[in-house]
């Protein structure tokens, strides 16, 4: 099966080479693929590694669709939200630890609002922990032929080792349609109502560019503005990817131009399932055997204490041995990017400001939550679990307003340098705390 796919890729122009290509200086990359035949109609830096931002959630959804198609999860299955998932920065639904969301509502919250808390909850539910789920995502990427991709979290929040390419994301877009036609219409959702709130989507091409029926937007400061679009007009099908846009409007305009220019060249001939043979093929990443769709996820209840007040919620994990600490998934060059903003579209990002921050240089942020008590509890938990480079730092909370909602950032302040901030973040991430560094205000 793998040889058949490789042959198809060579004929159609979906190249699988370039896995070791160095990260280019520019953020920009793009590709247009005929989804009927697999032929590449346009390509620019398509194999260069880029930060996927919220395009990561395409794979999170692929994994959830796979679980639903196999009968292990239903649309109404409640997905519990841990304290860690609830602590993710905006954009988010805004859960309290111990709440839950149905699988279908979680899908819609990812597609419309790009909800980071929902994505993390899905990852923890399917993988037992977000770290293990990222390994499962990377393994699935290899099965699909995504050779330039490595996942480190379920939502696309900044991580210098989380990488993909325009070509890989086009492959994933085609796979979502081919493997899960019964769920693919979710990607055309423009808005939905949840607990009395109307949540409006970020994909502004839906309903404005003829034939566009999904898929996903994404943004972080380091990635720029990203978009994967699927087009279906009179039997002609395209999947196009734009990465590194300078603004949401510029990204959308570039995508619209690519669709207009290359749709006439697309074929109405159906080439069959281009990547069906890759869905469940056996892949070993490094020396680590990872679960396949028929083996995972089958959630098993375990009990987990999620806060200092000893509130207990039900979490779910697939029983499996811990990965060997020596196993490596994919070695990706680690850059020294500028400090990144939290995930979401530009209008939805938790703005990183330090106007009221205490003096003392760099800070690291681990959460943006609904109350100062939650923020302080997260800081206390992090200090207790991580120790080491965290114990000498000053816990600090900062209130900010977003619309009619008040949030509180949980930060550690008093960090002397960028290197020390990155060291602190690395220690936090090893204990499954989300983290990003904040430079001192000039």
Answer yes or no: are the C-beta atoms of 127 and 133 closer than 8 Å.
yes
Answer yes or no: are the C-beta atoms of 6 and 22 closer than 8 Å.
no
Number of other CB atoms surrounding residue 25 within 10 Å: 6
d(CA 1, CA 9): 12
d(CA 402, CA 405): 5
Q: Is 72 annotated as a binding residue?
A: no
d(CA 77, CA 362): 42
Largest Cα separation within the chain, whole Å, is 64
Nearest Cα residue to 299 out of 59, 110, 124: 124
Active site residues: 54, 57, 114
Say if residue 271 is exposed, middle or buried (CB neighbours under 10 Å; 0-12, 13-18, 19+): middle
Here the contacts of 192-199 (C-beta below 8 Å, separation 24 or greater) are 192/105, 192/108, 192/112, 194/93, 194/105, 194/108, 194/109, 199/93, 199/108, 199/109, 199/112, 199/113
Q: Which residues are annotated as a binding site?
A: 216
Q: Which residues are annotated as a binding site for substrate?
A: 216
């Amino acid at each position: 099966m793998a040889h058949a796919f490789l042959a198809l890729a060579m004929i159609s122009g979906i190249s699988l080479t370039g896995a070791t290509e160095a990260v280019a200086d520019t953020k920009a990359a793009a590709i247009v693929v005929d989804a009927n035949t697999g032929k590449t109609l346009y390509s620019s830096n398509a194999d260069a590694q880029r930060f996927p931002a919220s395009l990561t959630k395409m794979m999170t959804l692929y994994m959830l669709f796979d679980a639903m198609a196999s009968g292990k999860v239903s649309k109404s299955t409640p997905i519990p939200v841990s304290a860690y998932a609830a602590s993710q920065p905006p954009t988010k639904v805004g859960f309290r630890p111990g709440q839950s969301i149905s699988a279908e509502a979680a899908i819609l919250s990812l597609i419309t609002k790009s909800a980071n808390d929902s994505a993390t909850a899905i990852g923890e539910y399917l993988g037992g922990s977000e770290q293990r789920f990222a390994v499962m995502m990377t393994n699935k990427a290899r099965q699909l032929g995504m050779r330039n991709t490595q996942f480190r979290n379920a939502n696309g929040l900044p991580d210098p080792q989380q990488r993909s390419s325009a070509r890989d994301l086009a492959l994933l877009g085609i796979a979502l349609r081919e493997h899960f036609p019964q769920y693919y219409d979710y990607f055309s959702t423009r808005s939905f109502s949840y607990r009395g709130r109307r949540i409006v989507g970020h994909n502004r091409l839906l309903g404005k560019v003829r034939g566009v029926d999904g898929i996903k937007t994404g943004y972080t400061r380091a990635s720029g503005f990203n978009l994967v679009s699927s087009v279906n007009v009179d039997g002609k099908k395209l999947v196009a990817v734009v990465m590194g846009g300078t603004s949401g409007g510029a990204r959308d305009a570039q995508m619209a131009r690519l669709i207009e220019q290359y749709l006439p060249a697309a074929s109405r001939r159906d080439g069959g399932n281009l990547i069906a043979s890759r869905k469940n093929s056996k892949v070993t990443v490094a020396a680590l055997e990872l679960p396949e769709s028929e083996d995972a996820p089958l959630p098993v209840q375990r009990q987990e204490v999620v806060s200092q007040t000893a509130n207990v919620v039900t979490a779910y994990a697939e029983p499996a041995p811990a990965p060997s600490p020596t196993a490596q998934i994919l070695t990706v060059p680690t850059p020294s990017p500028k400090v990144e903003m939290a995930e979401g579209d530009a209008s939805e990002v938790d703005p990183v400001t330090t106007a009221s921050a205490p003096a003392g240089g760099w800070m690291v942020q681990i959460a943006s939550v609904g109350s100062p008590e939650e923020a302080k509890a997260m800081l206390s938990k992090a200090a207790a679990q991580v120790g080491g480079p965290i114990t000498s730092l000053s816990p600090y909370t900062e209130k900010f307003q977003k619309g009619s909602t008040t949030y509180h950032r949980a930060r550690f302040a008093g960090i002397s340098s960028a290197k020390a901030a990155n060291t602190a973040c690395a220690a936090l991430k090893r204990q499954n705390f989300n983290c990003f560094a904040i430079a001192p205000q000039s």
